[in-house]
Each structure stands twice: as C-alpha cells, then as structure tokens.
C-alpha cells in the first residue's frame, strides 16, 4: 500500500528525485515527518501548492492520501 509523491521544479532537486513512493495512509504531518530539513522548510512555504489526484487541496493540513493516491507538490511559479 503506497502513495506516490511527485515533486516539481526546485522541490524535485531538494527531494533528490521527481517521484517517491511512501506508505499509505499519509496525512500532512506524516509527510513532513519524512522530509529532511531543507525539503521540509521549502514545502512549509504557503506558496507551495499541494494537489491530491490532480485536484488542488485547499487546506494541506487536511491532506488524507490513501493507497494508490498521488500527491503532487508544486513550487511557486517565478516569472521574468
């Protein structure tokens, strides 16, 4: 039973990979507990968006992912 984590942009660099499988079920606190300090600090930024199965999560603290779900973490977009 696993949840697929997808890291985009700079978050993939901090995570060391674009994807990672973690044990299900997974909530936000459980996700943070698996992060090293650099990744944890980056995803703590309120501009980082979280999507569950392609749908943005309004309150990431309410994240509840189960077996087969995909959680994507989207860094803030920078423009020029």
CATH of 2-74, one of 3.40.1350.10, 3.30.70.2190, 3.40.640.10, 3.10.20.30: 3.10.20.30
- Assigned token pair, 40: 């944890």
**Rounded to 5 degrees, what are φ and ψ at 26?**
-140, 130
For 15-70, how does the pLDDT look when each residue is reduced to its tens digit (9 = 90+)? 999 999 999 999 999 999 989 999 999 999 999 999 999 999 999 999 999 999 99
Q: Record the tokens describing residue 43, joined without a space.
A: 């995803």
pTM attached to this predicted model: 0.92
């Amino acid at each position: 039973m696993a949840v697929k984590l997808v890291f985009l942009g700079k978050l993939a660099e901090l995570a060391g990979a674009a994807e990672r499988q973690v044990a299900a079920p997974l909530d936000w606190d459980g996700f943070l507990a698996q992060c090293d300090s650099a990744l944890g600090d980056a995803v703590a930024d309120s501009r980082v968006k979280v999507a569950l199965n392609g749908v943005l999560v309004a309150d990431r603290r309410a994240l509840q992912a189960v077996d087969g779900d995909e959680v994507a973490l989207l860094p803030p977009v920078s423009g020029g």
